A = this chain, B = another copy of it.
Amino acid sequence: MTTSFHGIVPPIVTPLTAEGEVDLPSLERLTRHLVDAGVHGIFVLGSTGEVAYLTDAQRELVVRTVATAVGGRVPVMAGVIDLTTARVAEQVRAVVAAGADAVVATAPIYAINDTAEIEQHFRAVAAASEVPVLAYDIPVRVKTKLPADLLVKLGSEGVLAGVKDSSGDDVGFRRLVAANAAAGSPLALFTGHEVVVDGMLLLGADGVVPGLGNVDAAGYVRLWDLARAGDWAGARAEQDRLARLFEIVFQAAGRSGDAAGVGSFKVAIQRQGLIDTATMAFPVQALDGEVAERIESIVRDAGLLPVAAR
């Protein structure tokens, strides 16, 4: 295992059985598939992992299963999404005990806090953690945009080891990259936006947490390698292909954000045989019917399914 966080770190989906329990064989299979594809880490219990829908027992099972399947080949980061600092600290203890190499924490949710309060929250979470803590910036769910100044300050003091930016604010992300570089790069900076990875790597992102990486991990690894090699035209071409694949998330018009997004990833990887069902956590219904057919068709066009299988 390395403590250096970088590269392609898919936020792994949580495969479920038809009854809604964690499907351990599918989770193991998907984990091995991702690691074999060359990813540089696995992020469990993120929004794509349906963390908000899982019980503590299910969360523990997910981390343990993935950590075991990974076997130390790459770092396992675990989301510790919960209400209140004390509960987040408890999640930290649980996921570390289950094998996580790092944790990813948001600002407080439900509560309405200011920057000073959020800073104290992160300090307390870090104090409770034996492993590195990354901040998870996802205003669409948490309502708060984490300020770049705060993040870099906490990075410089060793409180935070990195940031997963899912804010959709790429201007803000560049400002964060610049401020981090000016401070000696204490933070590992990940973007969560899977269709602008070429540009984000060009401007200095340390890595990516692409939900779509569940569907085409090898593509993202190629994109990473091309960027590392300075072949930006090649990187862009690979990104363009992945951007076409990303259209799967726009097929379920009228469904909820979680159903359309995570739901499309699950259909796409189920059709590839990587997981057994596309079941979503209660109360979300899996995508099926014509929508699922359209998703399969896009996946096929991306070269991820055998032509004969249709």
Contacts and interface: CB of A to CB of B under 8 A. Distances in A.
A140 B169 contact: no
B178 A193 contact: no
Contact of A198 (B171, B175, B199): B199
A281 B256 CA distance: 34
A113 interface: yes
A233 B201 CA distance: 11
Interface string A104-129: 00001111111011111100100000
A255 interface: yes
A197 to B, nearest CB: 10
B84 A52 contact: yes
A288 interface: no
Interface string A174-196: 11001000000000000001011
Contacts of A143: 141, 143
A109 B232 contact: no
A110 B142 CA distance: 7
A217 to B, nearest CB: 20
Interface string A220-256: 0000000000101101100110011000000000011
A73 interface: no
A264 interface: no
Nearest to A113: B256
A165 to B, nearest CB: 12
Nearest to A53: B84
A121 B283 CA distance: 6
A257 interface: yes
A144 to B, nearest CB: 10
A58 B91 CA distance: 17
Contacts of A111: 52-53, 141, 258
Contact of A258 (B113, B140, B195, B283): B113
Most B CB within 10 A of own CB, among A81, A90, A118, A175: A175
Interface of A: 47, 51-55, 81-87, 90, 108-114, 116-121, 124, 140-143, 168-171, 174-175, 178, 193, 195-196, 198-200, 202-204, 230, 232-233, 235-236, 239-240, 243-244, 255-259, 281-285
Given A203-B236, A230-B233, 8 more contacts: A82-B83, A84-B281, A113-B257, A114-B256, A117-B285, A174-B243, A196-B199, A202-B236
